[in-house]
A and B are shown apart, each in its own frame.
Chain A
Amino acid sequence: MTFSADSKGDAYARTLDCVHCGLCLPTCPTYQVLGVEADSPRGRIYLMRALAEGRVQDPQSIRPFLDRCLDCRACETACPSGVKYGEVLETTRAKLEQQQPARGLAAWLVRTLLWHVVAHQRRLRIAFALLRATERLGLRWLATRLGLMPAHMAAIAPTVPPAAERAPLRTGLHVPPPGVARRGVKVALFTGCIMEPVFGRVNRATLQVLLANGFDVDVPAAQRCCGALLVHAGQPERARELARANVAAFADADLVLNNSAGCGCAMKEYGHLLGDEAGAAFGKKCRDISEFLAEAGLTAAPRPLAAKAAYDDPCHLCHGQGVRAQPRQLLAQVPGLEMVAHGKPEDCCGSAGIYNLLQPDVAEEIGRRKIESLVRAGVDLVVTGNPGCMLQIDSHLRRAGHRIAVRHPIELLVPPA
């Protein structure tokens, strides 16, 4: 397979930016675990370039190496030549998927669930209600026992929180409570497909912090899933449909805030995904909640918290969006909170969207290394701003028998009631 002349453009040209220096190797989680050149960014870029040049006989034979990539973008942070690795990978994956959809139950599940359930908030809510019911009936335990649910999936999949926590935010305009000085700035909030049912408390905390700090907050009803998981799974067409819906839903907003690093990164890249001005303009309006608050400044002091905590950078926040200082700067304002450094905060935790479900072995080892570093730091609390990372780190900590809580930074910024 070769890229046709018209589509050869971007992705192929970007592979040519690589001069094979290898500075990306030590930053790559899969190379660190596997030690295989073809599982390193340099190796993958080389294979993708060879593919585009028509030198690969059987494109599907290089697919396992591309599929094993977490798309964490740590290599982009390390690359002196500025290779836009994520774009090359996502384009190539889409082409391979188009040529021959990935086989296997997991791949089928992903395709079906991502598009028919996750991308539709109502169906997702129903799915979670059903899941909750099955858990209450002990069916999950039974399913694991009977081998219907693979053990690794059972270990990672969170238990579904009660209905009150899953309740979605009220859509429409929210204004600061009486007594709070309004800043005259209106922001729009993106609530995310997974954040809502799994970590509803994070969305509520986000709203609460914004209001307490004097911002008007609009939660548009027409917003949808950001599409990141579909892009990663090589289904950009479906992702584009979602992206266009979001561009329209937030048409009136000047600033679109989100609290999910993966979504934020994907939305900032709508320009590339949609290939048009509207997408690029939308991307420029997007901010991570920490980015926004650090710049605007907190006017409401957070509730004091006597704890020792480590901040762990979500890949799509530090590598994908270059946001590193802001969350730390905000956490430093929590009275009583002691922030400590830990080993390698910018290394991937192995969550990477739904990677831990598709590549359990590699994700397991990457996750193990992450918590080893966190445990060594001797903290009571791990703070990270992405639902996938929160789930992965929490699951690893619990399974290893550690009583260390995992929180989103925004949860620590809520002022006293």
Chain B
Amino acid sequence: MPALERELERLLGERAVLTAPDALLAWECDGFTVHKSRPRAVVLPNSTAQVQAVVRLLHAAAVPFVPRGAGTCLSGGPTAGADAVVIDLARMRQVLHVSTEDLYAVVQPGVVNLDLTTAVHHLGLHYAPDPSSQSVCTIGGNFAENSGGPHCFKYGMTVDHVLGAVIVLPDGALCRLGDPAGARLPGALDLTAVFCGSEGTFGIATEITVRLCRDQRAVRTLLGAFATMTAACRTVSDIVAAGLVPAALEILDQATIRAVEASVYRAGYPADAAAVLLVELDGPDDVVAEEAAEVRAFMQQNGGLRIEEATDAAERKRLWKGRKGAFGAMGRLNTDLYVLDGVVPRTRLEEALVGISAIGQKHGVLLTNVFHAGDGNLHPNISYDGRDAAMTARTVAAGHEILQLCVDLGGSVSGEHGIGTEKLDHVRMMYGDADLDVMARVRAAWNPDGRCNPGKVLPSRNACAEVAKWPQMIAKVLDPEGGA
């Protein structure tokens, strides 16, 4: 065993270091399975001190490293190069402190998003950002990716809920961001917000202070089934135009509905509907009741085929179950899934969906749509067979065109899944050299040697001015060794 691995074992113990090449295959990719790369080793530290010791060692040895949570990222963020060590934070899952008065919690990075809400549920509190993978994904990963979720339409993204953090910097030094006491105090640069969404390239958060929200007095979830996608989108526009701010506004298309209904997450969505719209309202009882009536009216006006309303927790859970299980259910359509993450202005949703469907047809790929309609955050899903190189290439090409369409409509290449390795080629659709240069300088301030999660977020300099070179990503798919 090489000296470095021995040294890692000395620091963490034998059971916290994995080096058998075959076992390491399990860490080859995250939820974005297009890019695969087997790391050099995986370590499982259980404390800030252990993370610090490992990072110091790797820094001294000039070995790159990649932090990882539950591996549910959809853009290749925690996928490590063959020379890199994965620092897996799954064993750091303690809720360290809960303040019921100042409404915050201090957690280790491996705490699962939903577990935090479960831990404070009896206090009438919850953690608001709720990615669909919330039962699996970690707060550390959410912080790194600035994750969103259905309820972010009203409550904001992760960046709006992280108040501070303890960070192990890429050279092993420790730094504190924000206020550990849970107040976001003005007066200096807001580095917590800068760190949020840096996708593990600025360092490793080992303690995170997050805001807790009080549970609302009343919650109602409405389901509207429509004969056309257009009708569902118009209902969303009507709701927002009327000044309502629902906690969530989600749409699933027919193919998604059918896959979900065939799975254990079946929620009783009508299989013949072209689109299902989920609207969640929360607040004081009378306000919610009044708003529910308004939403119902908009659904009816737009020709809703069926309108359902859930008022108790069990019924609500049922209606949400299908949405939360939607990505996984796509495994019923083909062996692999490419989950896209584009944003368009809400008013252009219909246009975007028509365009996306045309792109799918042009490339002959199987496309389904499930999205956060309130934010205009689309998740076109392409089901494909990763063993078929030509189909994979068509999938990636269609994905590229879809993201270009989003940008052309005035949107963005990512709403909440991050850039990772997936969208390295797409970043240039939005940013020029000068923009990217500023970002690179900010990153260099945190990560001067570039060994903390290398090859993510910002396209490398030598790939510059190569807007037309996006097929680079396809080349990487077809020849992973050459591209890596």
Closest chain A residue to B133, Cβ basis:
A22
A55 to B33, CA, bound (A): 16
B332 on the A face (CB < 8 A): yes
Query: Bound complex: CA of A62 vs CA of B26, how far in Å?
Result: 10
B26 near A46 with CB under 8 A, answer yes
Question: What string of 1s and 0s marks CB contacts (under 8 Å) between B6-42 and chain A?
Answer: 0000000000001011110111111101000000001
Asked if residues B25 and A46 are in contact (CB atoms below 8 Å), the reply is yes
* Max chain B C-beta neighbours (<10 A), residue from A16, A57, A83: A16
Of B91, B133, B262, which contacts A23 at CB under 8 A? B133
A79 near B18: Cβ-Cβ < 8 Å: no
Q: Which residues of A contact B115 (CB under 8 A)?
A: 26
Q: Does B265 count as interface, using CB distance less than 8 angstroms?
A: yes
Q: A23-B133, A50-B25 are in contact. Are A80 and B70 (CB under 8 A)?
A: no
Assess A19 versus B330: contact at CB under 8 Å? Given A50-B25, A56-B25: yes
In this assembly, does B432 line the interface, its C-beta being within 8 Å of a C-beta of chain A? no
Ordered by A's residue number, 27 sampled pairs between the chains whose C-beta atoms are within 8 Å are A19-B33, A21-B31, A21-B72, A21-B133, A21-B327, A21-B331, A22-B70, A23-B136, A26-B135, A26-B136, A35-B88, A35-B93, A37-B26, A37-B27, A38-B26, A50-B25, A57-B22, A58-B22, A61-B20, A62-B20, A65-B26, A79-B328, A80-B260, A80-B264, A82-B264, A82-B332, A83-B331
Q: Which residues from 78 to 122 on chain A have a C-beta closer than 8 Å to any C-beta of chain B?
A: 78-83
> Judging by beta carbons under 8 Å apart, are B23 and A38 in contact?
yes
B23 touches A20 (CB 8 A): no
B335 and A16 form a contact (CB under 8 A): yes
Q: Are A81 and B329 in contact (CB under 8 A)?
A: yes
- Determine the residue in chain B with the shortest Cβ distance to A18: B331
Binding site for B on A (CB under 8 A): 16-23, 25-26, 31, 35-38, 42-44, 46-47, 50, 55-59, 61-62, 65, 77-83
- Check if B80 is an interface residue, CB within 8 A of chain A: no
Distance in angstroms from B38 CB to nearest chain A CB is 10
Chain B nearest CB from A88 CB (Å) reads 13
Q: In the docked arrangement, what's the CA distance between A70 and B460, Å?
A: 45
CB distance from B144 to the nearest CB of A (A): 16
A/B pair count, beta carbons within 8 Å: 122
Report the nearest B residue to A23, measured CB to CB.
B328
B420 at the interface (CB under 8 A from A): no
Q: In the assembly, what is the distance between CA of A36 and CA of B329, in Å?
A: 24
- Least distance between A388 CB and chain B CB atoms (Å): 25
Out of A26, A62, A82, name the residue touching B263 (CB < 8 Å).
A82
User: Smallest distance from the beta carbon of A362 to chain B beta carbons, Å?
Assistant: 11
* A36–B42 CA distance with the chains assembled, in angstroms: 9
A33 to chain B, nearest CB (A): 10
Q: Which residues of B contact A65 (CB under 8 A)?
A: 23, 26
- B112: Cβ under 8 A from any A Cβ: yes
Chain A nearest CB from B243 CB (Å) reads 36
Q: Are B327 and A19 in contact (CB under 8 A)?
A: yes
Q: How far is the CB of B20 from chain A (nearest CB, A)?
A: 5
The residue from B91, B133, B329 contacting A35, defined by CB atoms under 8 A apart: B91
A83 (CB) vs chain B CBs: closest residue: B331
Q: Is the CB of B31 within 8 A of A20?
A: yes
Contact of B31 among A22, A50, A78 (CB under 8 A): A22
Q: Does the CB pair A79–B264 fall under 8 Å?
A: yes
CB contacts (< 8 Å) of B29 on chain A: these are 20
**Are A22's CB and B72's CB within 8 A?**
yes
Whether A23 lies near B21 (C-beta < 8 A) is no
- B18, B22, B329: the one contacting A56 at CB < 8 Å is B22
CB distance from B292 to the nearest CB of A (A): 29
- Using Cβ atoms and an 8 Å threshold, which residues of chain B touch A46? 25-26, 28
With beta carbons under 8 angstroms apart, the residue of A26, A44, A80 that contacts B331 is: A80
Would A81 and B90 be within 8 Å (CB), given that A26-B135, A61-B20 are in contact?
Answer: no
Question: If the complex has contacts A35-B91, A38-B18, A43-B26, are A81 and B332 also in contact, measured as CB distance less than 8 A?
Answer: yes
Interface-central residue, A18, A19, A37, A59, by most chain B CB under 10 Å: A19
Please give the distance in Å from A8's CB to the nearest CB on chain B. Answer: 13
Complex-state Cα separation, A19 to B30, whole angstroms: 10
Q: Is the CB of B329 within 8 A of A80?
A: yes
Question: Which residues of B are found within 8 Å of A17, using beta-carbon distances?
Answer: 331-332, 335
A42→B137 CA distance, assembly (Å)? 14
Q: How far is the CA of A293 from the CA of B397 in the complex (A)?
A: 57
Q: Is B337 interfacial (CB 8 A cutoff)? A: yes
Asked if B458 is at the interface (CB within 8 A of a chain A CB), the reply is no
A residues in contact with B262, CB < 8 Å: 82
The answer to the question of B325 belonging to the interface, with a C-beta cut-off of 8 Å to chain A, is yes
Q: Is the CB of A57 within 8 A of B33?
A: no
**Using an 8 Å CB-CB cutoff, how does the interface string of B261-293 with A read, 1 for contact, 0 for none?**
011110000000000000000000000000000
The listed residue with most B CB atoms (<10 A of its CB), out of A22, A38, A59, is A22
A22 contacts which of B28, B71, B260, B263 (Cβ < 8 Å)?
A: B71
Is the CB–CB distance between B325 and A23 below 8 Å? yes
The 3 closest A-B pairs by CB, nearest first: A81-B331, A80-B328, A35-B90
With an 8 A cutoff between CB atoms, is B110 at the interface? yes
